[in-house]
Each structure stands twice: as structure tokens, then as C-alpha cells.
Amino acid sequence: MTAAERADLGSARRIVVKVGSSSISGEASWRIDLIVDAIAAVRERGAELILVSSGAIATAIPFLDLGERPNDLASQQAAAAVGQNVLMWRYQNSLDRHSVLAGQILLTAGDLENPTPRSNARRAIERLLDLSVLPIVNENDTVATQEIRFGDNDRLAALVAQLVQADALVLLSDIASLYTRPPSEPGAEPLDVVSHDADLSGLEFGSAVVNSVGTGGAATKVSAARLAASAGIGVLVTSADLVADALSGAAVGTWFRPSPEGAAVGTLTEHPSDSAQ
């Protein structure tokens, strides 16, 4: 069922969950078990879940003695190649506790704009779900260029949610909800529900940021949430620490109501002319 309201997450049949680098890398890597436990609970109730996970570059930083996120593209690509291997090992090691197998899918946003790779990606994800495998999607940072620097996979997660016609998208961040302005500033108020046609021009979400481990920020999450909501997919933005509550439909985070007009026509629905190669 399409998650029209936040409480519907507890009974949604297909959910895309995205987690950012800062939530699962370095000293925060313990959250992988937390996220995996929540995913396992969703699967146990018979729902399907696709995980979009950042963190390849951030995971590699200590292994390569880089100190912080590299600035040059070649080093970012090399770090992604190393970190993706370790990141998937960590997920699989945690998933083994629930006897769940993971399948890795590496994409760029550009792949989802081209009919052939888009069609192939959708078929692969659908078959993994048929096989009860957990699809774990990440940006293909080893070959990405400009995409590597923006959004921390928020936009990619929105595109994947449209691709698989998900009932809901959950964007996990470092804060419990979005605010009307940066939460450190006076007068900042948490946002509870955002309608699909709400005017957000008077709010201050800030710009995308690049920190020691990843890229992203509130602005990229708002942009991704509105993209998915316009296609009829309800979106919840909340803290990774609240993932279990979020997936059960509890009243946490900021809920972006889906557009009723977009529910019937997803912008990335497979076209009959799409063919696998």
C-alpha cells in the first residue's frame, strides 16, 4: 500500500531506506547493526526493502590513512573502490545474524536517466527481491565524476524509489527532523508534516555541505523528498537512531506527503521500449 501518511509506513509493502556516510562510518559504524535489525524486522512482516547506502569513501579513510575525505577526484575514486568492499562486508557480517543475503548494485544518477541501464537496474532489483535478497544500492563513485560531490545519495535514493515504485522512502540523517532554519539558530522549529504543494521558499535549509566523511545536508534531503513526493511516494526524513520507530510508522521525523496526482504516474516507470542488454 502507498504510504499516504507517516503511520502507513508500518504496513507499507515496499520501502526504500537511505543512510548517509556520517551515520555509519568511523566511530558511527555501530549503527550498521541498528539499521540491519530494523530492516530485518520489516522483512519479517513480509515487506520488501531496498537499502541505499552511502559511506564507501568515508569507510576507506582510516584504511588508507587519508585523515579526512580527499578533495581530488582520483583519490575519491580510489577510496570508493576500497571502501565499497569493506562497507559491503560490514553489512553482510551484520545481516548474517538474521540469515539475510545482500546484493550490491552500483549506479549513478545518469544510469537512471538512460532507458537501457534503467531497465536493467529495475530488473536486477526486482529479481533480488524475488530471491529474498536485500538490494544495497550505492553510487558508483569509482567512475562517477560530478555526482560524487553532491547530495550524499539523497537524489539517487529518490530516483531508486521511483524506479521500483516504492510505497515510501525513508531518508536517515543525523537529526531527528528537519527544521525551519538550521537547528542551531534561534527560532528554529521542527517540521512535522510537509504537504506536496507546500511553499517552502521562506524556510532556510542551508546548502549542501562537504565534511570530513561525506556530502549532503538538509537542502539535499528536502530536494530529494520533494522529488519523490511529486511522484506519489511519501517520504520520511529522520535520524538513523530512530530507524526502527520510523519503519514502524511512529510519529517521528518530518513527513512529506505524496502528491495524489503522482501516485499513478512515476517519472521513472519502465517504458515498453526499454530492453535489457
Q: What is the DSSP code string of 25-64? A: SGGGTTHHHHHHHHHHHHHHTT-EEEEEE--HHHHHTTTT
Do the annotations mark residue 130 as ligand-binding?
A: no
Tell me which residue of 194, 195, 190 sits closest to 242, measured CA to CA.
Answer: 190
Which amino acid, residue 266? G
- Widest distance between CA atoms in the chain: 55
Nearest alpha carbon to residue 241 among 175, 191, 188, 190? 175
207 is in an annotated binding site: no
* Angle at which helices 115-130 and 154-163 cross, to 10°: 70
What is the side-by-side strand order in the sheet with 193-194? 102-107, 134-139, 48-53, 14-19, 168-173, 234-239, 254-256, 193-194
Domain ranges across the chain: 6-256
For the chain, 277 residues long, the average pLDDT of each consecutive 10-residue run is 91 97 92 98 98 93 89 89 96 98 90 91 98 95 62 86 97 90 84 87 57 61 93 96 98 95 52 41
The HSE-up count of residue 100 (CA atoms within 13 Å, CB side) is 29
Q: What is the DSSP string of 87-143?
A: HHHHHHHHHGGGT--EEEEEE-GGGGGSHHHHHHHHHHHHHHHHTT-EEEEEE-TTT
Q: Is 18 annotated as a binding residue?
A: yes
Cα distance between residue 88 and residue 208, in whole Å:
26
pLDDT given for residue 202 in this prediction:
65
174 is in an annotated binding site: yes
Per DSSP, 190 falls in state B
Per-residue burial over 42-67, b if 16 or more Cβ lie within 10 Å, else e, is beeeebbbbbbbbbbbbbbbeeeebe
pLDDT at residue 265, as a whole number = 42
Q: Which fold has domain 6-256?
A: Carbamate kinase (3.40.1160)
- Name beta bridge partners: 209: 216
Contact 204, 180 (CB under 8 A): yes
153 is in an annotated binding site: yes
Model-level pTM? 0.89
